[in-house]
Structure 1
Amino acid sequence: MIVHKNKPKNIIYRQIDILKATVLATYKEWAAYRSHMAISIFVGPVTFLVQVFIWNAVYSTGNTVSGLTLNQIITYYGVVTIINYLTYDSADWNLQMLIQTGKFITFMLRPVSHCYYAFCQKLGHRLLALWVEFIPVYLLFLLVFKINLVPADLFWALISITLGFILMFLMNYCIGITGFWLTKTEGLRRAFILLRDLCAGVLVPLTLFPGFMQKILFFLPFQFITYVPTRVFIGSYELAGISLPIPYVVGMQAGAVIVMFLVYKLLWFLGIKRFTGVGA
């Protein structure tokens, strides 16, 4: 009997090869259409300016709102904007389109998990976005709007943003999986995006919600997508009257990623049984 001692190592190398090939292919594919991504260079700053105008009007009657100064609010929205450029994801739309058209059947024949493949695609897409979207907007905010975009602790900020990146993907992918039941998930996707952005602190800082809602939001996973990475970037965390050390908050974020991965595995196990390849 022959024992392949290097089999685990070969599997790891194979996954790394798939990662590199998919990331590179996705990067090249989107680089050919980078003008589509470049549009967001204007969308992000314009949205940010709208927030600046709104909050300047709000603060015209006082110096603080829920303990936050105007400068803190502006900094918060600036950090949220640049983090969103890094964590943006469309795995839900991509997966539901594959299911709807029946093209997903080709992935069932491939010796690689579609989730892993989709994640590698996101890496390639966001690597391109790093210089097409993130860096130009970062410099614009830093040099023109004079926003402090230097993280309080670079190490924890990078870890937290990475975890938010993974969590965003897993949540969206789970929404895409519902396509096995619904076929068309556009309505669900739009409702989820609104709920996610509201509960993740994209639209308003979570500390501006009423106390009882903050307690609910504290136990939901949405805060770990944007609010937590933003607060880690700034250097302090508070929600529902609870202030926590940054390492502890990042640990909670890692726990949320693990839980969402298990949710994905469960939904995938139940959903894949329903796929019939309609439209293929």
Structure 2
Amino acid sequence: MRRLAAAIRAIGFATYKEWAAFRSHMAASLLVGPVLFLVQVFIWQAMYEGKETLNGLTYPQMLAYFGVATLIHYISFDFADWNLQMLVRSGKFVTFALRPLPHWLFALAQKIGHRSLALGIEVLPVMALFILAFGVNMKPAAPGWAVISILLSFLMNFFVNYCVGLTAFWLVRAEGVRRVFLLIKDVSAGVFLPLSFFPDVLQKLLFFLPFQFITYLPTRVYIGSYELTGIQLTLGQAVGLQAAAVTVAGAATIALYGAALRRFTGVGV
């Protein structure tokens, strides 16, 4: 375990140094996130005209929702699906198939290093901007639960995206599948609209899908309350449900990775 931890730390640190040389690329998101948030401000100002709450959320809570959702997006951002598909399509994945460390673990270590750099370049500056420029309350209701939930969101987004990337072992070109799936994922995760605003039938479906654990649930935990399809959970219960979902997603990723390797070996033979 010590050797494994040392390998993950080394890969993460190498990725951190690599991306630090191109940090201007990452800093471009300092403009994108706030601009999108400003659009949300205009939309919800009009929606709350003459109203105190919408679906149980006040206007300050709604701004906090999108502010926190933006920060979670920065923290959990992942490109494992694109990277894996490029490796498979170019044939470079063979170098990873021969290594003792499974590629999914290598990719997770890369993400840890990449997102560690993002904390200082993206997350903290944007968080300060939301607080100072827009007056958004970014204080978590329960800091401990919020941190755990965001870390679980980090893992869930990785597992979901990596599974999408694994489709490259079965499809000649998986880019179309990737684009459609990522759009469905963002909609179903609550990136564009809180899931509690969806029709009840859709809410029941989304409750059992993994996507809410990427954005909606950790955002609601950060704010201090969780409710979906009429089900209200305490913060501890919500994080426990999220942890169970992440465990299932991790097991599914490892199983699918094993099946992909068997197919890859079969094609090679």
Q: Tell me which interval the TM-score lies in, with the shorter structure as reference length.
A: over 0.9
Is 1:230 aligned to residue 219 of structure 2?
A: yes
Larger-Rg structure? 1
Query: Shift of the alpha carbon at 1:57?
Result: 2.0
Amino acid corresponding to residue 271 of structure 1 in structure 2: A
Residue equivalent to 2:240? 251
**Residue in structure 2 matched with residue 52 of structure 1 by the alignment:** 41
Q: Which of 183, 187, 196 is 2:185 aligned to? A: 196
What do you get for the CA RMSD once the two structures are aligned?
1.6
Superposed displacement of residue 275, structure 1 = 1.9
AA at the equivalent of 2:89: Q
Q: Does 1:207 align with 2:196?
A: yes
* CA-CA distance at 1:81 after TM superposition: 0.6
Q: Does the residue aligned with 2:137 lie in a helix, a strand or coil?
A: coil
2:93 aligns with 104
Q: Secondary structure at the match of 1:232?
A: helix
- Once the two structures are superposed, what CA deviation does each residue of 1:105-127 show, in whole Å capped at 9, x if it has no partner? 00011121111110000000000
- Match status 1:81 vs 2:70: yes
2:8–2:109 contact (8 Å) kept in structure 1: yes
Q: Where does residue 264 of structure 2 map in the other structure? A: 275
- Aligned partners of 1:205 and 1:55: how far apart in 2? 12
Q: Are 2:249 and 1:260 aligned? A: yes
Q: What secondary structure, in the 3-state scheme, does the structure 2 residue paired with 1:60 have?
A: coil
Q: How does 1:129-148 map to 2 (within 5 A)?
A: 129-148=118-137
| Aligned equivalents of 1:183, 1:177: Cα separation in 2 | 12
**What amino acid sits opposite 2:138 in the alignment?**
L
1:169: how far off?
0.2
Partner of 1:175: 164
5+ residue gaps, structure 2: none
Give 3-state SS (helix, strand or coil) of 2:78's partner. Answer: coil
The runs of 5 or more residues in structure 1 that have no matched partner are: 1-11
Q: Does structure 1 residue 17 correspond to structure 2 residue 10?
A: no
SS at 1:243 equivalent? strand
Would the aligned equivalents of 1:99 and 1:277 in 2 still touch at CA under 8 Å?
Answer: no
Contact between 1:99 and 1:183, CA under 8 Å: does it hold in 2? Answer: no
> After alignment, is 267-276 or 239-248 more displaced?
267-276
Residues 1:219 and 2:208 are matched in the alignment: yes
Give the Cα–Cα distance (whole angstroms) in 1 for the partners of residues 56 and 257 of structure 2.
43
Match of 1:204, SS state, is coil
Deviation of the 1:103 alpha carbon = 0.2
Asked if the contact 1:104/1:277 (under 8 Å) is kept, the reply is: no
Letter in 1 for 2:167: T
CA distance in 2, matches of 1:41, 1:226: 19
Q: Percent of pairs identical after alignment?
A: 55
- Partner of 1:196, secondary structure, is helix
Per the TM alignment, residue 276 of structure 1 is displaced from its structure 2 partner at its CA by: 6.1
Question: 1:68 Cα shift?
Answer: 2.3
Cross-structure match for 1:114: 103
1:277, distance to aligned residue in structure 2 (A): 10
